[in-house]
Amino acid sequence: MNNVNDRVVEFLEKSYKEGRLVHGYLFFGGEKSEKLAVAKKFACTVLEVDEIGRNLIETEQHANVHVVRPEGKNIKKEQIILLKTEIGKKSVEDRAKIYIIEEAEKMSISATNSLLKFLEEPAPNVYIILIATSKEVLLPTIISRTVNLGFRMSNLEKSPMNEAFLTVIKALENGEVGQVVVAKNPDIFKEQVSGFLDAYQAYLQKKMDDYFGNYQKLQQCIKKLRALDVAKRDLLAQMNVALCLDKLWFDFKTD
C-alpha cells in the first residue's frame, strides 16, 4: 500500500481502539482490489479473529462478513433487501457484522433507496462499507451518511493503463481536439471507454504530485478529474458513448 492508503488503515484501527466506529464507510478512488483488501482487514480488526478467522474472511466464507457484488450490470433492490434480512438475523456469537458492497455505483435507484433506509436508522454493531470508483458517482444522500475515505493508485502501472491509452491521454494533454484524437484511435473507444476514463484519472492523480505548488495547473487537474467523474456517471446512466466523450472534451475546454 502507499502512504495515503496506509493512513486509511491507521484511521480505521485507531477509530476501533478508541470506540469511535460509525455504521457506514465509503471507500473511493484507487484500486478496487486494494479497497476490498482494506475492507477485509477492517473486518478482521473488528471481529478480532485468529488466523483461521482471517482466512475465512479473506476467502469470503466468514458467517459475519458478507460481500455484495453486481448481478449482471447492476446491484439490484432484491440484493439489498436480502442484505437487510441478513442484518436482522442474530450474528454468530453476538459479534459484529460487516457488509461490503463492491462497485456501489452500480446500485439501482431502488437498491440505493433501500440502503438509505438502513443508513438513516442503522442497526447496532453492524458496519457497511461501500466501495466505489469515486464519490461523485453516488447520491449525495449516500455520501453524507457515510465516512468518506479516499484511496489512491499505488502506482500508474497498476491502473488499466496501456500504450494506446497513454498515447491518447498525452495527445489530449497537449491540447489536441478530442474528436481528432478519437478519430485517430477508434479501436480504443469501442469496448474500453470505462477503462480509459479510469486510466486518465490515474494519470491525473499521479500528475497532481508534480503540480504541487503550482496553483493554476493543480486547479486544471482537479477540474479534469471532476469532469471524468461526471463522464463515468453518464456512462453508468447509459448515455451514448460519443455524446459522453463530446461532453467530456467540452468540459475540459470550458473555463
- Helix (H) / strand (E) element for 160: namely none
Whether the per-residue pLDDT at 208 is higher than 60: the answer is yes
Give mean pLDDT, residues 173-195.
72
| pLDDT value of position 189 | 62
| pLDDT value of position 240 | 79
| Residue whose cell numbers read 493512513 | 7
CA distance 99 to 46: 12
Whether the per-residue pLDDT at 70 is higher than 80: the answer is yes
pTM passes above 0.95: no
CA distance 161 to 181: 17
Lowest mean pLDDT among 50-64, 73-87, 161-175: 161-175
Could you tell me which of 38, 111, 105, 37 has the C-alpha nearest to residue 79?
111
Give mean pLDDT, residues 28-41.
89
Q: Confidence band (pLDDT; 50, 70, 90) for 129?
A: very high
Whether the per-residue pLDDT at 96 is higher than 80: the answer is yes
Dihedral sign (CA 227, 231, 237, 240): positive
CA distance 23 to 104: 16
Q: Confidence band (pLDDT; 50, 70, 90) for 13?
A: very high
* Count of alpha carbons within 13 angstroms of residue 166, beta-carbon side: 7
Give mean pLDDT, residues 203-232.
77
Report residue 142 as a C-alpha cell: 449516500
| pLDDT value of position 2 | 52
Whether the per-residue pLDDT at 167 is higher than 70: the answer is yes
Where are the domains positioned within the chain? 3-151, 157-253
- Quote the distance between the C-alpha of residue 15 and its chain's center: 21
Q: Confidence band (pLDDT; 50, 70, 90) for 156?
A: very low
AA letter at 101:
I
CA distance 170 to 172: 5
CATH of 3-151, one of 3.40.50.1370, 3.40.50.300, 3.40.50.2300, 1.10.580.10: 3.40.50.300
| pLDDT value of position 67 | 94
Whether the per-residue pLDDT at 243 is higher than 90: the answer is no
* Mean pLDDT computed over every residue of the chain: 82
